[in-house]
Amino acid sequence: MSKKNQTTMSRRTMFAAGAALGAAGFSTAARSESEPQGALSVPENGANYARVPLKKDTVAVSGIQSRVRAVDGGSPRRGIRDNLNHMVELIDKAQFYGGKKDLLCFHEFPITGWSTWSREEVLRIAIEIPGPETEVLSKKAREHGCYIKFGSYAVDDDWPNHILSITSIIDPAGEVIARDWKARNIKGVFPGFELFTTTIYNVLDQYTEMYGVDAVIPVHRTDIGNLTTSSVQREPELFRAMAMKGAELFLRTATGGFSLDDIKMCSIYNGVNSVIVNNAVSPNNPGFFDDAGSGGSTIFGPRGQVLAEAESKFEQAVTARINMAAYRARHQIPDVHMDLYKPVFDQYRPRYAPNLFADYQPTSLGDAKTYLDSKNAWK
């Protein structure tokens, strides 16, 4: 057991005790006294979805398009330190010029980078959340009075041998208020391998038992808006569900490319604001050309209009000021005619069943492909 878990109760115990921290242990969502623990927070009246008062009408949001650099899988600590120091430098730069930013968003892997590591290597590389790295970022959040969002490989004592891809949000008080697992991994697109990180879908039954059904698709109700995070691409059903739960500002991440149309249409179809942050040109990233999959970070408004976009593939802050008060005055959750579609959804059978990593965790990217190929229900 880590020192962290010797001094604090585990997240499993925390949820069993009924702590009102619905989104994988760290949501700020308010829960009604009459609402059962773990109940889905989907409003019956879509114009009256749950939220907390805004601290200001207009929210300044920056996507920090920064480099990605994979650390040494055999000896990662120096690389992690250097990457973290670079994040701190960029936070200070973002807050130095152009007025105060309320929310700074980083991409999927600013601390560890990404490479074709084995499970053994990633278990050495992955950070704890909260942990030493988040404490450094918490200090900057307190200094600048802002929220900071970033992704990282992570480990958790409640999930031994599992490697998690987590998107976290730190609030201006330095508290980790969101610790969101990736919902699912893309499959069948990489040449000769599959991803072996454990997603919610990979262990859906156990995850729901531990954290409650509402934590499967978390929405964090904060004083700058209802935030939701995702590193998933091209799954409109997931984003629709987030919007139906009252998400207002979608904080999406990528590393190595994404579909800009996917982000734009998410905003249009759901009437939400979206921030997509990708990596910048990344010199000296092992195994990749400097400009591999770089650039394109953009902030979209609820009609799909571009509020701000990266002017190049190099490091920069992409900043927009969103009038959240005016947005809330007119926004409703999506009006979905579910009875039309439900029979199709009920009959549909996915290519891969959930819970495939509950009892087996692949040892490498190649092993993940072999294992998942054996579980392909569409062959």
Can you give the pLDDT at residue 38?
Answer: 63
Spans of all domains in the chain: 21-32+43-339
> Is 70 exceeded by the pLDDT of residue 2?
no
Average pLDDT over residues 294-317: 98
Give the Cα separation of 293 and 319 in Å (integer).
21
CB hemisphere CA count around 335 (13 angstroms): 3
Q: Is residue 8 pLDDT above 70, yes or no?
A: no
Residues whose CB is less than 8 angstroms from the CB of residue 35 and which lie 6 or more positions away in sequence, other chains included: 41
Structure confidence by residue, pLDDT tens digits, 328-353: 999 999 999 999 999 999 999 999 99
Considering the entire predicted model, what is its pTM?
Answer: 0.91
The tally of CA atoms less than 13 A away on the side-chain side of residue 80 is 20
CA distance 171 to 246: 20
Residue 292 has pLDDT above 60, yes or no: yes
**What are 37-92's pLDDT values in tens digits?**
468 999 999 999 999 999 999 999 999 999 999 999 999 999 999 999 999 999 99
Superfamily of domain 21-32+43-339: Carbon-nitrogen hydrolase (3.60.110.10)
pLDDT for residue 4 is more than 60: no
Give CA separation, 189 vs 195, 263, 364, 377, in Å.
Answer: 10, 19, 16, 17
Q: Is the pLDDT of residue 13 over 70?
A: no
Q: Chain-wide mean pLDDT for the chain? A: 91
- Reported as a pLDDT band with limits 50, 70 and 90, residue 257 is confident
Segment 122-157, tens digit of pLDDT? 999 999 999 999 999 999 999 999 999 999 999 999
